[in-house]
């Protein structure tokens, strides 16, 4: 992973987060990766690395201690509690905290599991510092970021795993159901979707139930694939 690029970049003054640095946690079980990365990110003007963590339980504890945290940069393969489970817990307990996965693993199962758990971004450790900073900023703004390798694998997975002859989406989905599917495809949990759409979490669940029934979607991972196939995520 390249980290020898300039560390200062101008920040968009229109960014609503511009009045304070983004609070970031860096999680990786290897101190030789975690600490240098945290140090480099902390030199970026609009990022404040408030904690580092070596496993998922440390991530959750740090998220409470430093709350509110904007973004967690999350490795997947960690002891005690892995990054996927930590992402799921963060999505449920701290919906305002975005997760960007940074890992060496770009296999289909790892990608889909992380996105289904609520990750908003997915990068491999080939990413440079500028790519990581860009992903952190985008995730904090509610956007999804996938590196090219991950995006290509997801698209290939969609093509091979959709039921034969099935249309990505049925024509009778409502506008709201499409909006909900878009946010599922971006990795948002129900609570965050409710906040985005200014509706209750119970209403989100109703839309999801209707969406899944109409489209024949089996689970949240399947919903992510269908959203990608339809160009919604």
* Tens of pLDDT, residues 168-213: 688 899 999 999 999 888 777 788 889 999 999 899 999 999 999 9
Spatial CA neighbour of 124 closest among 101, 98, 96, 141: 101
Look up the pTM and report it. Answer: 0.65
pLDDT of 108 higher than 90:
no
DSSP state of 55: S
Strand pairing partners for 67?
none
pLDDT of 96 higher than 70:
yes
More confident of the two residues 118 and 5: 118
Q: What is the mean pLDDT of the chain?
A: 84
Strand pairing partners for 100?
73, 121
What are the backbone dihedrals phi and psi of residue 52, each rounded to the nearest 5 degrees, phi first? -125, 155
């Amino acid at each position: 992973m390249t980290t020898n690029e300039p560390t200062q970049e101008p920040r968009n003054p229109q960014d609503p987060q511009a009045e304070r640095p983004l609070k970031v946690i860096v999680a990786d079980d290897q101190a030789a990766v975690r600490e240098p990365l945290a140090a480099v990110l902390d030199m970026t003007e609009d990022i404040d690395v408030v904690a580092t963590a070596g496993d998922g339980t440390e991530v959750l504890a740090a998220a409470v201690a430093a709350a509110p945290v904007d973004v967690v940069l999350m490795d997947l393969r960690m002891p005690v509690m892995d990054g996927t489970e930590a992402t799921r817990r963060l999505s449920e307990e701290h919906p305002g905290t975005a997760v960007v996965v940074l890992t060496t693993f770009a296999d289909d199962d790892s990608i889909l599991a992380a996105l289904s758990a609520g990750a908003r971004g997915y990068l491999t450790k080939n990413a440079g510092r500028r790519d990581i900073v860009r992903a952190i900023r985008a995730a904090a703004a509610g956007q999804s970021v996938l590196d090219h390798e991950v995006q290509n694998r997801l698209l290939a997975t969609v093509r091979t795993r959709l039921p034969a002859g099935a249309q990505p989406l049925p024509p009778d989905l409502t506008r709201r159901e499409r909006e909900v599917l878009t946010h599922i495809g971006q990795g948002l949990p129900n609570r965050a979707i409710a906040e985005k759409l200014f509706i209750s979490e119970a209403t989100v669940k109703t839309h999801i139930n209707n969406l899944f029934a109409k489209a024949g979607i089996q689970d949240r991972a399947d919903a992510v694939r269908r959203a990608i196939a339809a160009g919604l995520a």
